[in-house]
Amino acid sequence: MLDTNANIAIVTIDGPDKNFLNPDVMAQVGADLLAADKDVSVSAILLTGAGDAFCGGLDLASIRAGGDPIVFARSLAVLLKIFPKLTKPVAAAVNGDAVASGASIVAACDYAVTVPSAKIGSYEVSVGVWPMVAQVPLIARMGTKVAMENIGSGEPFTAQRSLEVGLVSRIVEPAALIASASEWLILASRGGAANAGRVFFYELAEMSYEDGLDAALDKFAAQFKK
């Protein structure tokens, strides 16, 4: 579902049960993100979940019932690759549990606000699966030591622990969730066209210190060219 309010596009993860991810659901979320990014009337993107869950991760039951794991994994990788290429700020409003690949989506967003009751993180080890794809954004967001604390144990973080390790930025009551995430988006969208620098921000994160400084020179100068 794609809705706009105050120039903020609201993209909703709307899947079966706890918003489990299957290829169709992931394709829809990706299409909504890209549509919002291309819409000139949209200044920022807010991502949340339908009902009382944010996202329960990949639909493992469907995979075990005969679904092709490669198709599911590839669909997740395609979706996660979209986030660093968006030219508009994106925030997660974590309205309930965001586990497994749902946690990786939270990690891929620029900013996240959560309700106090939410569990956020990987649980796959507890059911005999290693989150091969979902771990990538979690490692990038939290670093190897903290990510392993979660991934290696298969125990999702509480909202408080998620705040402590930087997986989310604020904890608010459910009634304030959308407004809180929107507050940051309004601030982040003030750069207008300059927010295309968001893409370079994520490219920069993969570079060495010196290479990053060198690459930044032309990017800085380009902002002042007419």
Residues 137, 87 within the same domain: yes
Helix 101-108 to helix 69-82 angle, to the nearest 10 degrees? 20
Cα 21–Cα 90–Cα 190 angle in degrees, nearest 5: 165
Mean pLDDT over the full length of the chain: 94
Residues 98, 24 within the same domain: yes
Q: What is the 3-state secondary structure (H, E, C) of 18-35?
A: HHCECHHHHHHHHHHHHH
Residues 108, 203 within the same domain: no
Tell me the pairing of strands 2-5 and 8-13: antiparallel
pLDDT at 2 > cutoff 80:
no
pLDDT recorded at residue 154 = 97
Mean pLDDT of 201-214: 92
The domain of 203 spans 191-222
Residues 119, 212 within the same domain: no
CA dihedral 138, 144, 145, 149 (to 10 degrees): 40
Domain total in the chain:
2
Residues 158, 209 within the same domain: no
Helix 209-222 to helix 197-204 angle, to the nearest 10 degrees? 170
Residues 51, 136 within the same domain: yes
Give the whole-angstrom CA distance, residue 194 versus residue 189: 9
pLDDT at 37 > cutoff 90:
yes
Residues 47, 83 within the same domain: yes
Residues 75, 149 within the same domain: yes
Mean pLDDT of 24-39: 97
Q: Which two tokens stand for residue 213?
A: 């400084």
Tens of pLDDT, residues 45-100? 999 999 999 999 999 999 999 999 999 999 999 999 999 999 999 999 999 999 99
Mean pLDDT of 124-129: 94
Residues 157, 202 within the same domain: no
Q: What is the CATH number of the domain that holds 100?
A: 3.90.226.10
pLDDT recorded at residue 203 = 93
Report yes or no: 156 and 103 within 8 Å, Cβ to Cβ: yes
The structure's pTM equals 0.94
Residues 109, 173 within the same domain: yes
Residues 195, 211 within the same domain: yes
Tens of pLDDT, residues 140-161? 999 999 999 999 999 999 999 9
Residues 11, 123 within the same domain: yes
Closest of 108, 125, 132 to residue 55, by C-alpha: 108
